[in-house]
Structure 1
Amino acid sequence: MRFRFCWDVDCPDWLLAEITTLSKLHDVVTKLAKDAKLDEQGAKAVVAAVRWVLESAAGAGVTANVLDSELQQLGLPKEHATAITKVYTEHQEALQAHLKNASLKVRGGTTWSCEVVGVDIGDGDLSPVVKLNLHNESPSVREGEEQEGGTETVTSIAMTPDQLQAMIHELTEARQLMEGLH
């Protein structure tokens, strides 16, 4: 089942697993942890789940009514869904502003490289795979000042030509949607 607060995809399995834990929550995290007999890891998981729900809902731009309904569809009791939705309603604008300011920002120099490589698919046959590499040079930072000798991180993504075409199509649609927001 797809949920709008999950960007119109299925709810992640880890969140589904935490819905039962979220159902046990009451007033404050420490009291909640004690009342629900959660260890420290369980309390952290619950906080992470609530944070993820709030950030995802704000990022996806869902209404409070949609969020409330979808949390209940996942099995969260109405009173808990209402409590989360109330916090969401009160902080939605600030969350969206924070997400907008924090998204798609990379420090240092960033470059892309691309190569087509052959992957052995058995019987000596090679299948073409597109390998995209994001090279991000992060400067060393000490007490707020950039220093010489930063480090480079390379993130690689390998995909078939069909997957690349699908990604290009989806990114084009995303760009059009973003341009429509201005």
Structure 2
Amino acid sequence: MQIAKYPSIWRNKFRFCGDGDCPDWVLAEIISTLSNLSVDSLEQLAQLVAKRINGEPFEEAAIRSLTSTVTNDGKTAVACIHYMLTSAARYSCTDVIFSEEIQQLGLPKEHAAAMCRVLQAHATAIRQKLIDKAFRINELQSIRNVTSLGETPPNCATLELKISQELVDGLPKDTTHIVNIECAQLGALLDEMKLARDIMLKYENKESI
């Protein structure tokens, strides 16, 4: 891609990006991948991404099938559509403006119309999902003590952390991490968490009075 061919794009601010610049990788993906999919494939792919944003299972096989003509696994295409839909919903971008802006970025008119149909169908649910998930980046789902004699380092504890919607290669996935932490640090962390909890409860009780 020769960026010099698109000089006006780099001076524009986009409503669906919160009146900011469009990320370089999104522009590149729109031009190299999304615009080369058929309209039907793009709309089906966007529907799958929208459903995934709203908590439905991720259909990896279907995504690979829809994107097989332009990319190996479809991950970057999914990440691009995920960004476009969540950003447009977050900033309450209208269908008309969204269509105009993604066409400016190189998406053909019929492809833009397909993206708008998906946004219109799912914007309210996506926006609510973003509100529900506000301040929850890589949300911790559970912690389990899996300390094992002979495997865990001396004076340490081994914890299993389950994370919801962690971004891996640009895609949200549920992940599991195993970490070792020194027992002394674990005790200090527990004390700090208790202090934070007490402060939160204190302010919560003040607001309820």
The question of a shared fold, defined as TM-score above 0.5 by the shorter chain, is answered with yes
Aligned match of 2:26 = 15
Task: Spell out the pairing of 1:1-182 with structure 2 (5 A cutoff).
Answer: 1-20=12-31, 21-26=33-38, 27=41, 28=44, 29-36=63-70, 38-40=71-73, 43-105=74-136, 141-142=143-144, 149=186
Higher strand fraction: Structure 1 or Structure 2?
Answer: 1
TM-superposed CA distance for 1:33, in Å, is 2.1
Aligned partner of residue 10 in structure 1, secondary structure: coil
- Note if contact 2:64-2:72 (Cα within 8 Å) is conserved in structure 1: no
Q: TM-score, normalised by structure 1?
A: 0.56
TM-superposed CA distance for 1:24, in Å, is 1.4
Deviates more, 1:22-31 or 1:93-102: 22-31
Aligned partner of residue 141 in structure 1, secondary structure: strand
For residues 50 and 12 of structure 1, what CA distance do their matches in structure 2 show? 13
Unaligned runs of 5+ in 1: 109-137, 153-182
Deviation per residue, 1:70-124 (Å, 9 max, x gap): 010111011111111100000011000000110124799xxxxxxxxxxxxxxxx
RMSD: 3.2
- Note if contact 1:139-1:151 (Cα within 8 Å) is conserved in structure 2: no
Aligned partner of residue 143 in structure 2, secondary structure: strand
Task: Report percent identity of matched pairs.
Answer: 40
Closer, same or farther in 2 for the Cα pair 1:106/1:35, shift >3 Å? closer
Unaligned runs of 5+ in 2: 1-11, 45-62, 145-159, 162-182, 190-209
TM-superposed CA distance for 1:139, in Å, is 9.6
- Note if contact 1:23-1:80 (Cα within 8 Å) is conserved in structure 2: yes
For residues 85 and 76 of structure 1, what CA distance do their matches in structure 2 show? 12
Higher relative contact order (CA 8 A, sep 6+): 2
Closer, same or farther in 2 for the Cα pair 1:86/1:107, shift >3 Å? closer
- In structure 2, give the amino acid aligned to 1:44: K
Higher helix fraction: Structure 1 or Structure 2?
Answer: 2
Closer, same or farther in 2 for the Cα pair 1:107/1:151, shift >3 Å? farther
